[in-house]
Homo-oligomer: A and B are copies of this chain.
Amino acid sequence: MHAFDVLGDPVRRRILELLAAGEQSSGEVTATIRAEFGISQPAVSQHLRVLRESGFTTVRAEGARRLYAVDAAPLKEVDAWLERFRGFWNQRLDALGTELARGKRARRARDQQTTTQHDQTTDPHHPTESSDD
């Protein structure tokens, strides 16, 4: 299972959030998740399994308890993928001046000739940057 698939589930994201605060036993995690999501113990256990098998957590035994902790490796991978997009929001807010003043005029001119389109049920027409005056 790919890292992003693992993070696609809200229960698993929440479990990771809980573990981010520090190591916790399966039982402790289960209690919180049950309260918050209303799902069964096996359901939580299955999510813990996914997290464990995909490398998001480490586990150690303490008697009958299983203590889970975050293993950052896959998260790091996710972060690395995001890396290439980081410029998109650092630029928007910061280096906006340069990029904007230069290339946007021409672009906006093209934008404006946008005519009425296909029947777009979900309004895909969302101006990228409308306020550059």
- Which residue numbers of A lie inside 8 Å of B, CB to CB? 1-5, 7-8, 10, 13, 16-17, 20, 49, 52-55, 58-62, 66, 69-82, 84-86, 88-89, 92, 97, 100-101, 104-105, 108, 110-112, 114-117, 119-122, 124-130, 132-133
A20 to B94, CA, bound (A): 13
Most B C-beta atoms less than 10 A away, residue of A61, A105, A122: A61
Q: Tell me which residues across on chain B come within 8 A of A8, comparing CB atoms.
A: 2, 4-5, 7-8
Looking at the assembled complex, report how far the CB atom of A6 sits from the nearest CB atom of chain B, in whole angstroms: 9
Q: Tell me which residues across on chain B come within 8 A of A54, comparing CB atoms.
A: 114, 116, 132
Q: Tell me which residues across on chain B come within 8 A of A112, comparing CB atoms.
A: 53
- Is A116 in contact with B72, judged by CB distance below 8 angstroms? no
A64 to B4, CA, bound (A): 34
Q: Tell me which residues across on chain B come within 8 A of A72, comparing CB atoms.
A: 85, 88-89, 92
3 residue pairs, one from A and one from B, having the closest CB atoms = A72-B88, A8-B8, A59-B124
